[in-house]
């Protein structure tokens, strides 16, 4: 199978869907002539032309709102946010309009829009550019939230997201864009809301998603080698819809849980997971649910310290040992 970068997998998904459906249009800042701030959309303008690959002004509320409006008429916009951190200036459009318009119209309207872009820390760009809003987004009924960890998942999930008739928010990671993975040559889709067991184990379940999947897999290898602890890593892949059944099946197998997330801890995705696990698998648990999150402060700039503020393999290792102690 060909081995390609995560960013190429996203690009391939875009290209395939642009080819398949004339209603798909890619919008965003620097997606065309500049070839994408992170080169995700490289070459698409040349291939599909300016009607399908549209450079927007720096105007997130305007162009995201415009995409939502166009989607009500059947256009299928895929809007790139250069950073998901900029969602704050388009918040009203994303959450009052995309998330609510179906409900407020009594089901008469749907918004088949995808908003995608990176949402992560770890690049030393400070608090304004390091938001991870998957919990904020997923708090709103009406939307779907996807956070892929690998090139394979990113491609299959993005293709499903573009075909979805509800608004889908697709959160990538600049630290993953260069990560390589195997991709089949034939077309494939991954349904939203299906978790993936990335590593099987018997002593501890790590529930995670996004870049923390890679940290957890690295820690799991060390735990097995150096501490004789067998870790199962469950990659949620989607936050909403949520595949809680795969999580509960793993808990029933290992009886111990560590949640790892690149999230501020208060009211995070992990908070919701912990509630659901204790509510639905209380008798399976041999100890309290543990969690490793971002250290609770705005994102620090200082490069070596930011690496410690976020989950990383060493922090996962330490948290895992505490969870099985």
Contacts with another protein, residue ranges (CB under 8 A)? 25, 51, 56-57, 59, 61-75, 92-93, 96-97, 101-110, 141-142, 144, 160, 163-166, 191-195, 238, 240-245, 272, 276
How many Å from the N-terminal Cα to the C-terminal Cα in the chain?
Answer: 41
Options 5, 29, 60, 172, the catalytic residue: 60
Report the residue number, 239 or 320, with the smaller CB distance to another protein.
239
d(CA 191, CA 36) in angstroms, rounded, equals 27
> Strands, E, within 56-157: which ranges?
76-80, 114-118, 144-146
d(CA 106, CA 241) in angstroms, rounded, equals 21
Report the residue number, 64 or 212, with the smaller CB distance to another protein.
64
Contacting residues for 98 by C-beta, under 8 A, at least 6 apart = 68, 111, 113, 115, 142, 143, 167
Catalytic residue status for 60? yes
Nearest distance in Å: CB 28, another protein: 13
Looking up tokens 């995309």 gives: 98
Report the residue number, 22 or 127, with the smaller CB distance to another protein.
22
Report the residue number, 207 or 319, with the smaller CB distance to another protein.
207
Nearest distance in Å: CB 103, another protein: 5
Nearest distance in Å: CB 17, another protein: 14
Would you call 172 helix, strand, or coil by DSSP? strand
Nearest distance in Å: CB 219, another protein: 26
Nearest distance in Å: CB 90, another protein: 9
> In 3D, which of 220, 226, 230 has the Cα closest to residue 255?
230
Return the structure tokens found at 209. Answer: 């998603």
Options 129, 215, 255, 290, the catalytic residue: 129
CB 218 within 8 A of CB 224: no
Point out the residues that are catalytic: 60, 129
């Amino acid at each position: 199978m060909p081995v390609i970068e995560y960013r190429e997998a996203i690009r391939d998904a875009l290209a395939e869907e642009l080819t398949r459906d004339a209603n798909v249009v890619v919008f965003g800042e620097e997606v065309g002539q500049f070839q994408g701030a992170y080169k995700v959309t490289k070459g698409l303008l040349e291939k599909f032309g300016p009607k399908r690959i549209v450079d927007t002004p720096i105007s997130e509320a305007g162009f995201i709102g415009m995409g939502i409006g166009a989607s009500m008429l059947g256009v299928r916009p895929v809007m790139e946010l250069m950073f998901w951190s900029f969602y704050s200036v388009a918040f009203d459009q994303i959450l009052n309009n995309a998330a609510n318009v179906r409900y407020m119209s009594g089901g008469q309207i749907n918004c088949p829009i995808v908003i995608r872009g990176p949402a992560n820390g770890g690049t030393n760009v400070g608090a304004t550019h390091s938001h991870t809003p998957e919990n904020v987004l997923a708090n709103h009924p009406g939307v779907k939230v996807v956070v892929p960890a690998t090139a394979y998942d990113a491609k299959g999930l993005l293709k499903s997201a573009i075909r979805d008739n509800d608004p889908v928010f697709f959160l990538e990671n600049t630290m993953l864009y260069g990560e390589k993975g195997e991709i089949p040559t034939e077309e494939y889709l991954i349904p939203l809301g299906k978790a993936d067991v990335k590593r099987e184990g018997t002593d501890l379940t790590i529930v995670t998603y996004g870049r923390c999947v890679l940290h957890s897999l690295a820690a799991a290898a060390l735990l097995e080698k150096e501490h004789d602890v067998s870790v199962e890593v469950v990659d949620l892949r989607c936050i909403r819809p949520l595949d809680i059944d795969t999580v509960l099946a793993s808990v029933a197998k290992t009886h111990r849980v560590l949640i790892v997330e690149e999230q501020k801890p208060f009211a995070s995705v992990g908070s919701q997971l912990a509630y659901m696990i204790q509510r639905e698998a209380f008798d399976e648990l041999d100890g309290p649910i543990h969690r490793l999150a971002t250290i609770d402060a705005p994102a620090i700039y200082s490069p070596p310290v930011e690496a410690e503020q976020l989950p990383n393999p060493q922090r996962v290792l330490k948290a895992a040992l505490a969870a099985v102690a």
